[in-house]
Amino acid sequence: MTRIVTGVLLIVLPIAYNVLFAALARRFDYPDILRRPTAEVLERFAAGGSRLVLTWWAFAMTAVLLAPTAVLLSVTLADAEPAILSLATTFGVLAALVQFLGLVRWAFAVPHLARLAADPASTPATREAVDVVFQTLNRYLGVAVGEHLGYLFTGLWTAFVAVAALQSDALPAALGIAGLVLAMTFVVGAAEFVGPFEPQGWAFAGKLVPLAYVGWSLWLLATGVLLLLG
């Protein structure tokens, strides 16, 4: 039963993630909108109404879904080394947590800032404060927590799951090798805004991350299907 539930979650997670990401790209021009001035971003956000807020909330919930998926996958690969499985579970739950923290600001903090920015009674000083708070949230929760730690922990979870897959009879070795390659792309992506790349970001890493998520989604789907068929 655990194997079946794990397989279903591994299929549902990437599908839900990509459907909601596509919805945000269509309705909000995400993620390109993040490179535009604060006033424009908040104006577009306010125009999206409650439907956009709910889409962001649902997108954040896909991050939460990674936590039980990581735990159950470790249980399913129980014939691998216990230390590897413990590390996989730990980094999977951490990846879910930091990605949720990075995304959930759009469902609760940003709507408030958008209302302040659109309020005719707001003073220039208030609007300047909104700009500072919005950009700080983006840098802290978005870039540092959601992206930097999110990519890093996702890469480490993927790496330890890949090693467990190589040790386990539940999955083919090819899936483990593919997971190790994907893990490295996430770790490189985590350095996009680190050190000398902090002001504008590392262009190579920025281009690599979307490809990493496409490959990761396919890897999760393949893992889920193989578990269900096994």
d(CA 92, CA 102): 16
Residue 35: helix, strand or coil by DSSP? Answer: helix
What is the pTM for the complete model shown? 0.95
Structure tokens at 196: 């000398």
d(CA 21, CA 53): 13
Structure tokens at 192: 């996009």
d(CA 62, CA 105): 14
d(CA 211, CA 167): 27
pLDDT for res 199: 87
Question: Model confidence at 154, in pLDDT bands (50, 70, 90)?
Answer: very high
d(CA 66, CA 99): 10
CB within 8 A of 122, min separation 6: which ones?
Answer: 116, 130
pLDDT for res 90: 98
Q: Does 184 have pLDDT greater than 90?
A: yes
Nearest 5°: the CA angle 137, 143, 147 is: 130
pLDDT, tens digit, 9 for 90 and up, residues 78-107: 999 999 999 999 999 999 999 999 999 999
pLDDT, tens digit, 9 for 90 and up, residues 29-53: 999 998 899 999 999 999 999 999 9
Q: Does 69 have pLDDT greater than 90?
A: yes
**Average pLDDT in the 134-152 region?**
96
**What are the backbone dihedrals phi and psi of residue 121, each rounded to the nearest 5 degrees, phi first?**
-80, -10
